[in-house]
Structure 1
Amino acid sequence: MKQRHISRSLYRAGGLFCLTAALLGWIGWQPAVAAPPEQIPVYTPTPGPDGRILYIVKANDTLLSIALLTGLTVDELKELNNLTSDTIFENQELLLGFGGPLEVTATSGPSPTPTPLLPTPTPRPGLGNLCLLLYEDINGDSIRQVEELSIGDGAISFGNQAGSVSENLSTIAGQDYQCFNDLPEGEYTISVAVPEGYNPTTQNSYELELGAGDQTYLNFGAQANTLTQAEAPQIPAEEGRRSPLLGIIGAIFLLAGLGVALFAGRILRNR
């Protein structure tokens, strides 16, 4: 009886051992599962209204941890925030950069009152003076000398391109320039017709720009032709003027006569 009780106990112990071994083997057969990696927070910078990107320092933050979080270097953080050391404080604002231009919201105000357009006054043209002369070019050199006076019975005409001035006049002999004052500035054309019996020695048409305040003088020359010179009265040489050679000869004879008289007087005294 005692032997049968021992056998039952051994049987129970062996079954428990087998069950335990089987359970351990099943556990060992299960595949190993790796622990999930630790999640690293990613900092997404958001610019403020003024365009600056700021970071608020948290507890246990260092410049190195902030640099790793934001993708900057420690030296860049120091340069942006004018830091001379690695010391930072909780709730301190650190500048990380600029996210864009400053967004300015326009404040609506009163509508501007349009300024009425005033009429622009038309500027008055300036005035100039023009003096003209048709002179007798005695030597035909096309240059007027003082003794070369004006020729009569000639014609002078001039006008401006605007059409506001148009003048025609006859020349008068023996006079100086014929002047026209207070003419409006602009481009003028002047032409001259010489009287019969004369040939022009200068150009008889001229264009000029008369400016404000100008005092312009124009000379037109003409020389009498051969027929006119032949018809002019000639003054005989003996009546108009005497030859200087005759005066020199007369003076020589007078001096010779005085010399002879003095010589004869000395001879008479010596006797």
Structure 2
Amino acid sequence: MNMDSFKKDIDELIGEFAKNELTTLADMKRVWLDRKFSYIYEATPSTNQAFFMQSLFARSIDYMVGNDSLSHRLGGLYCLYCLYEVQPHNPPFRVYISLGQLKKLKVLVVDAKAKGINVVPALVKKMLNRNTFLFGAVDLSECSAVETVNQLQEVQNARIQIANEKLFNNTPIESHINMDLGMTIDLDSLKKMSSEYAAAKDLAIGEASKVIDVEDIEHISKGKEPIGDVVQKIADDWNAQKQAFYKQTGLDENEGYDRELEQLLLDHNEDDDDDDESDEE
């Protein structure tokens, strides 16, 4: 998907904001409304929506962490906030930001506070509190950013439906009884991704705490059990239930349902044949 026209729209929006050396969120909202900028979402594609959204976010972040004037950088931050807030998706697409970009955002907060633009630290704190960001370790191109965001979303969304999906797939019962849930869902990879994301989020909150009060938002990185551990417990419970099933039914773990059912059908057919022979006599 060609994003050039959308990037140009963002360039013109921030360019108009910076041309007049504007600095407040209220200023950006006026420019946004004058240009009817929310219509940018009228062209949202039916596919590749993550690519579309992250491309818009990435363009704004480029301004936010760039080396242009303070108005350009503030325009990037405000544009990013507005793009996130008015997006038509529910749940909303979150904003991928690298730790390097977060450090540059910290510099922007410091510069804004020095100029008395107090809306900036309040806005960044609000975005953190609302869990707007997905934190990553490296700066990424748009394509790889979308891939990474999709992976992080998988970590965030991995819940018990993983087991439910396995249960309700149109596959033989034998595969569900004999499978190791932890192996089937690549638990090691999920736990690794979960741990890496938790570490990145902790570091991000730590960086933010250097320039804004994060006391009210520290819960974002604390007290939540990593999803990898949650799924590990699901897998352990699955395997325990599987063993209990074997014990209660008398089935051997190495004997599949298909073979059991096949034998029952064969026995039933043999009984029918015997009955038919008796009737003929």
More helix by share: 2
Structure with more contact order per residue of length (Cα contacts < 8 Å, sep ≥ 6): 2
Normalising by the smaller structure, the TM-score range is under 0.3
More strand by share: 1
Q: TM-score with structure 2 length normalisation?
A: 0.23
> Larger radius of gyration, structure 1 or 2?
1
Q: TM-score with structure 1 length normalisation?
A: 0.23
